[in-house]
Amino acid sequence: MIIDLPSTTTSQLNKKLVELRERGGAIALGRVLTLVIVAEDDAELEEAIDAANEASREHPSRVIVLAKGARTAAARIDGQIRVGGDAGASEVIVLRLYGALANQGQSAVVPLLLPDAPIVAWWPGGGPKAPAGDPIGELAQRRITDSAAEKNPIRALTTRAKSYVDGDTDLAWTRLTNWRAQLVSALDLPPYERVTSATVTGEADSPSTELLAGWLAEYLRVPVKRVKTSSAQGIVSVSLERPSGSIEIYRPDGRTGTLTQPGQPTRRIGLHRRDNRDCLIEELRRLDSDEVYEASLHGLGKLAAARKKTAPARSAASKSTPKAKA
């Protein structure tokens, strides 16, 4: 059920929610959190709501969506309530803010928050440089961004690494869960040797590839080489060098990878790219700080330092010769 409330107020929205509950029990009271979604455009808005609806089946919640209307219009709020089949196991409140209210999302959200329930903020598209300093981010215990959705993903990731505060996370990190699990499982098998170096290959603008390299640099404490490629999307391969040979995961198609390691048969493993729904479900399972993500952000600094240290000086001849494409 979708109920439109044009030119409304947050008080009227709350009254309508109570009315729906009393009239037909359309809205359950067992909400575990409030999810605030800050959407930049309508296409992004609907995709985010669909992901939140699916996530709500595991995490029943009140979903508040902030959408910006025309700034030149008169100040008003157009509201919409979605319940039942249009809201999964949650209740969705869409607020479209016009005119002077377009930048007052925090004031519009506060009256609709569930009492004594944790708050999670999610920017499915372009997010703030410092999520904890954003007006919506200040309300939340958990703040979810997506560097991959930014115009310059690597720069956005680097900026957020500098502004990190406990409770920040990024879906570029969540998309690594299966890769990290496979690598840890491979290292748990004999011969239990120390990794001496690592190589991570992926798209030049893939923040997940950067974070995976940062994670390896931070926890293995070995040199990690970041190789950029345009032959495939996202992460393409990871190689961990050990005295007896290398452990390598290669995924050229974004779906299925092959795992090779000394003394073991080559195995095919599922490494499908995770969609926003799966990533959001995982992130909503924890509301505390993610120390491993924080450490991986620190690892990005080690990659940058290694690049500066190993960058070869170019001679005059090399400067005048075009670089061949691999």
CATH number of the domain where residue 231 is located: 3.30.360
Cα distances from 96 to residues 17, 38, 45, 49, 223, in angstroms, run: 17, 11, 11, 14, 49
Is residue 159 domain-shared with residue 179, that is, in the same domain? no
At which of 148, 170, 192 does a domain end?
170
Asked whether residue 325 is domain-assigned, the answer is: no
CA torsion, points 255, 230, 225, 242, in degrees to nearest 10? 40
What residue type is assigned to position 128 of the chain? P
From the list 136, 130, 93, 113, the residue with the least C-alpha distance to 4 is 93
Check: CB of residue 37 under 8 Å from CB of residue 67: no
pLDDT for 319: 37
Strand partners, 38: 66
Residue 114 shares a structural domain with residue 175:
no
247 and 282 in a common domain: yes
Do 165 and 175 lie in one domain? The reply is no
Last residue of a domain, one of 155, 170, 185: 170
pTM (two decimals): 0.90
Dist CA 247 CA 41 (whole Å): 43
| pLDDT of 316 | 36
pLDDT for res 189? 87
Say if residue 138 is in the same domain as residue 25. Answer: yes
296-323 per-residue burial string, b: 16 or more CB within 10 A, e: under 16: bbebbebbeebeeeeeeeeeeeeeeeee
Q: Is residue 270 part of a domain?
A: yes
Residue 121 forms beta bridges with which residues? 36, 143
What is the CATH number for 140? 3.40.50
- What range defines the domain where residue 193 resides? 171-308
CB 176, CB 215: distance < 8 Å: yes
> Would you give per-residue pLDDT tens digits along the chain (326 residues)?
899 999 999 999 999 988 888 776 545 456 889 999 999 888 889 999 999 999 998 999 999 999 988 888 999 999 999 987 766 667 899 999 999 999 899 999 999 999 889 999 999 998 999 999 999 999 999 999 999 999 999 999 999 999 999 999 999 999 999 999 999 999 998 888 999 999 999 999 999 999 999 999 999 999 999 999 988 889 999 999 999 999 999 999 989 999 999 988 999 999 999 999 999 999 999 999 999 999 999 999 998 666 656 544 433 333 333 333 33
Cis? peptide before 191, omega within 30° of 0: yes
Tell me the chain's radius of gyration from C-alpha atoms. Answer: 23
pLDDT for the residue 39: 93
- Longest pairwise C-alpha distance within the chain: 80
Structure confidence at residue 323 (pLDDT)? 34
My answer on whether 70 and 135 are in the same domain is yes
One-letter amino acid identity for 207? Answer: P
Any domain includes 231? yes
Domain total for the chain?
2
Nearest Cα to 303, choosing from 225, 237, 227, 229? 225
Instruction: Give the DSSP per-residue string, 81-126.
Output: EE-GGGSTTSEEEEEEEEGGGGG-HHHHHGGGSPTT--EEEE-SSS
Find out whether 187 and 161 touch, Cβ atoms under 8 Å: no
Query: For residue 320, what pLDDT is reported?
Result: 37
- Are 105 and 227 members of one domain? no
Please list, in sequence order, all residues whose beta carbon lies within 8 angstroms of the beta carbon of residue 116, skipping any fewer than 6 positions away.
Answer: none
| Whole-number pLDDT of residue 310 | 54
Same domain, 303 and 156: no
177 and 62 fall within a common domain:
no
Residue type, 158: T
The reported pLDDT for the residue numbered 30 is 67
The H-assigned helical ranges of 202-246 are 207-220
144 within 8 A of 120, measured Cβ to Cβ? yes
Q: DSSP assignment, residue 30? A: -
The DSSP secondary-structure symbol of 149 reads: G
pLDDT given at position 236: 96
CA distance 42 to 47: 9
